[in-house]
Structure 1
Amino acid sequence: MTKFVCAILLMLVMAFAINDTYAGKEGSLRPEECAAACDQRCSATQYKKACLTYCNLCCAKCLCVPSGTYGHKEECACYNNWKTKEGGPKCP
C-alpha cells in the first residue's frame, strides 16, 4: 500500500513540475503538440512546406497556434505580433 501511495505522490509532483515548466508562456500548447496543431493550420495552403516551417517556429516560441486554417490570429497575441524584418507577419 505504501508503494502505491508513493507512486501516486511521485506522479503528482512530476505533473506539477511539468506544468511549472510552461508557466509564464503565452499559449497552452506544449512543444510536442506544435506539429499536430501546425499540420491542421497549414492543411489548406498550397505552400505547405513553408507554412509548416514558420508555423512550427512560431509555435515553439509562442506555444500557441490559432484555430482554423486562416485568420483567427487574435487568439494568440505572440503569434500575431511576431513580425519579419520588413514588418510583415512572421507566422502563418
Structure 2
Amino acid sequence: MGISKVIVASFLLSLFLFQLVQAFQPNQLDDTSTNKYTTTIDCGGACAERCKLSKRPNLCKRSCGSCCGRCNCVPPGTSGNYESCACYANLTTRGNKKKCP
C-alpha cells in the first residue's frame, strides 16, 4: 500500500515538472518577426546537399530553394525524410503533385 502511494506521488511530481519545463520554453507558434529564437537556415547549402544526386540538379535546386524559403527547413538526405519538415512535404504544384524534391 505504501509503495503504490510513492509511485503515484512520483508520477504526479514528474508531470508537474514536465509542465513547468514546457511553460518556460519559447512558443514555436509565435510570429517569426517577434520571436527572437527563430533562426534561418542556409537554403543554398541545404538544397545543394539535397540535390547532389539528382538527374536534373538545377531544377531540383530551384524548387528546393522555393520550398526552403517558404518553410525554412529542408529534410536531411538526398530524398525522403519528409517527416522532419512537414511544411516542405505538404507543398504542392497546381497539378496537385509534390512541389519539393
TM-score interval for Structure 1 and Structure 2 normalised by the shorter chain: 0.5 to 0.7
The CA distance in 2 between the partners of 1:39 and 1:85, in whole Å, is 25
**TM-score normalized with structure 2 length:** 0.61
Give the number of aligned pairs.
68
The CA distance in 2 between the partners of 1:22 and 1:30, in whole Å, is 14
Q: Using CA pairs below 8 Å that are at least 6 residues apart, which structure has the higher relative contact order?
A: 1
Unmatched tracts of structure 2, length 5 or more: 1-31
**TM-score normalized with structure 1 length:** 0.67
The CA distance in 2 between the partners of 1:29 and 1:44, in whole Å, is 27
Is it true that 1:30 corresponds to 2:43 in the alignment? no
Corresponding residue for residue 7 of structure 1: none
Unmatched tracts of structure 1, length 5 or more: 1-19
More helix by share: 1
Q: Larger radius of gyration, structure 1 or 2? A: 2
Runs of 4+ in 1 over 3 A off after TM superposition: 20-23
> How many percent of aligned residue pairs carry the same amino acid?
38
The CA distance in 2 between the partners of 1:62 and 1:22, in whole Å, is 17
What is the alpha-carbon root mean square deviation over aligned residues?
1.8
